[in-house]
Amino acid sequence: MIEKLTDSSEISFAKSARRISFSAIQPSGAITLGNYLGAVRSWTDLQRTHSCIFAIADCHAVTVPKEPHYLRSSVRNLLATLLACGISPDESLLFLQSTVSHHTQLGWLLECNTQYGELRRMTQFKSKSQQNENFGVGLFTYPCLMAADILLYNTDDVPVGTDQTQHVEFARNVAQRFNSRFGETFKLPEPMFPKNGAKIMSLTDPSRKMSKSSDNSSSYILLCDHADLIVQKIKGAVTDSGNQIKYIEGKGGLNNLIVIYSCLSGLSFEQISFEFEGKGYGTFKSRLAEIIVSEFEPIQREYSRLIECADYLETCVRRGAESARKLAQPMLERAMYAMGYWVP
């Protein structure tokens, strides 16, 4: 099937009365169930209510060293994944961060308006820099680039998982500081979390978030995992010695599985307890694995189709870049002018 894209000029954000939402995801490997429930799935829903802008954060991705061939294939795979999940380039603006140089340009201006101490306090920096003491400077200045991503588009809402709270807060602070020093320039963005699933935990250590960069592949479920592997990982998920399916404070492992079940079934925790009354953890886990598989199977099929559509993917990237550059240009110029640059 030949894919058709609407002319990018038909997606008009400036004229729309809708709130503008911006979010991005790093091409750091296949996406996890956590990325899906905490971010990507809610992005597809937002397309009905918001003017949506989504970026593949390939500039952020190299804050942790990446082999060129790995980066190239990860970006391609992530683009096909987002499309397969239902992000529509006809309804949203979808682009690669590296194709719009305005991001790094505004990022620099924001770096020059940021205190060293502020960045040193960022928890993601603290944990990632501990993993490798020879980290690059980009890992440190990462929040300034993320703030630039958000502020360039007059963003109202930033749909993310709760692990990104501090970064969105930083974007607000830097915008506020810039506005009070140079005059009203940036809109202050709000973080936006899904009601359920804003922090999906690891299957092997429920005190940590599920993360695609974990060394232990049993700790996460990938969107591309085969059905048998999903069953195996859910069966092996850490729970406790109880047998009642009930969300109770302190039962981290079980609670995490109940949250996942609730996100995918649309049932409340009470309805889930009722459904599994008198049945043990084994039955619950089998049913949970089934609903994950049935959620992922159609996406996996669509992904396999799209990844072969080289021309279509190429067109998406080109069109996305053209539209994003047009949208980003006025804000970059405004910020530069406010700081005293000669803007011809």
**Which residues contact ligand LTN by CB under 6 A?**
22-26, 57, 60, 146, 149-150, 158, 160, 164, 167
Residue 123 CB, shortest distance to ligand ATP, in Å, is: 12
Asked about 128 being catalytic, the answer comes back as yes
Residue 280 CB, shortest distance to ligand ATP, in Å, is: 26
Residue 120 CB, shortest distance to ligand LTN, in Å, is: 17
- Pick from ligand LTN, ligand ATP, none: which does 167 bind, CB < 5 to 8 A by kind? ligand LTN
CA-to-CA distance for 289 and 309, rounded, in angstroms? 30
Query: To 10 degrees, the CA torsion angle through 154, 98, 62, 300?
Result: 90
Q: Which of 128, 199, 246, 251 is catalytic?
A: 128
DSSP character at residue 114: S
> Closer CB to ligand LTN, residue 151 or residue 203?
151
> Closer CB to ligand ATP, residue 36 or residue 178?
36
Is residue 257 within a helix (H) or strand (E), and if so which, with residue range?
Answer: helix 252-265
Q: Whose CA is closest to 7, among 285, 318, 221, 252?
A: 318
Residue 230 CB, shortest distance to ligand LTN, in Å, is: 23
- Pick from ligand ATP, ligand LTN, none: which does 150 bind, CB < 5 to 8 A by kind? ligand LTN
Cβ atoms 32, 220 nearer than 8 A: yes
> Closer CB to ligand LTN, residue 158 or residue 234?
158
Asked about 212 being catalytic, the answer comes back as yes
> Closer CB to ligand LTN, residue 20 or residue 150?
150
> Closer CB to ligand ATP, residue 209 or residue 287?
209
- Pick from ligand ATP, ligand LTN, none: which does 158 bind, CB < 5 to 8 A by kind? ligand LTN
Cβ atoms 76, 313 nearer than 8 A: yes
Which residues are registered as beta bridge partners of 209? Answer: 201
Contacts of 175 (CB under 8 A, 6+ apart): 147, 151, 185, 186, 187, 188, 189
CA-to-CA distance for 161 and 178, rounded, in angstroms? 26
Rounded to 5°, angle at Cα 280 from 255 and 238: 45
Measured over the CA atoms of residue 211, residue 127, residue 66 and residue 171, the dihedral's sign is positive
- Pick from ligand ATP, ligand LTN, none: which does 230 bind, CB < 5 to 8 A by kind? none
Residue 299 CB, shortest distance to ligand LTN, in Å, is: 20
Where on the chain is the footprint of ligand ATP (CB under 6 A)? 25-26, 28, 32, 34-35, 38-39, 160-161, 163-164, 198-200, 209-213
**In the numeric block, which tokens belong to residue 222?**
């990938």
**In the numeric block, which tokens belong to residue 106?**
């505004």
Residues involved in catalysis: 128, 209, 212
